[in-house]
Amino acid sequence: MKKLIIASTSTLHGGSYLEYILPTLKLHFENCQEIIFIPYARPGGITHDEYTQKVAETFKTINISVKGLHEFDNPIEALEKAQGIFTGGGNTFLLVKQLHEKNIMDVLKKVVENGTPYLGSSAGSNITGISMQTTNDMPIVYPPSFKTLGLIPFNLNPHYLDADLQSKHMGETRETRIKEFHAFNDIPVLGLREGSWLEVTGETIILKGNLTARWFTANNEAVELETETVIG
C-alpha cells in the first residue's frame, strides 16, 4: 500500500529545513532507522554530498539516519532495499533527467507502490504526478522524457502563488501558466501552496496543512479545496 507525504516546500519563511512538517515525518517514517535520500535536483548547484548532509542533520533530530543514493554503486538495489525514501527539491528538469538516465524512474515507482514510505518536497513532489510539465523550474537540462512516477492521478504545481493585485510584475501568473498547459493537456493540476502537503495512503489522497489548495481542470474554472479534502 502506498504511503507518501508530498510537500509543496521544504522550508517555510523563518523556519529551518523541514521544521514545519517534522512531527508528520516522524510518524511517516516511524518504522525506518535509515532512509535513502535522492539529491539529484541540487538546488542552487549544491553538491550531492552537501545536500545529503543537510538532510541528514535534520533527520538526526528524529533519530533517523540518511544515506544519499549517489553513494551506492548500485542505485537500483539501494532503492529496492530502502526502508524509506526522500527526494528533495531543486530543479525538476535535472532530477527527471537523472532518474531516467540512471534507469531508476520505474524502480522508484515500483518500490513506492509496494509500500516503501516516500517523502517528496518541491521537485521531489513534482515527480509523483503524471508528468513534470507543470513545474516552475527553468529547463537547464533536457530530460529524455517529461513522464514521471504517476503515483497520483494528476500533476502538481508546488509553491503555488496567487496573483498579487498590488504587484507591478507584468509576467504570467501561475494560474495563467496552468491554463496554457490545459490548452494542450487534460491532466488535472493541483496548485499546492507553501506549508501544505498531501498525505497519500493507498489510493486515498488528503490535503493537509492550514491552507486551501487550488484545483485546475481543463475548460473549467479553478476550485479552492479546503484542508482535509479527499482529492481524486
What is the set of active-site residues?
Answer: 122, 137, 159
Dist. CA 130–CA 141, nearest whole Å: 20
- Residue 192, strand partner residues: 158
Phi, psi of 38 (to 5 degrees): -100, 105
* Element of type H or E holding 153: none
Dist. CA 141–CA 162, nearest whole Å: 28
Dist. CA 185–CA 190, nearest whole Å: 14
- Amino acid at residue number 12: L
3-state SS of 114-139 is: CCCCEEEECHHHHCCCCECCCCCCCC
DSSP 26: H
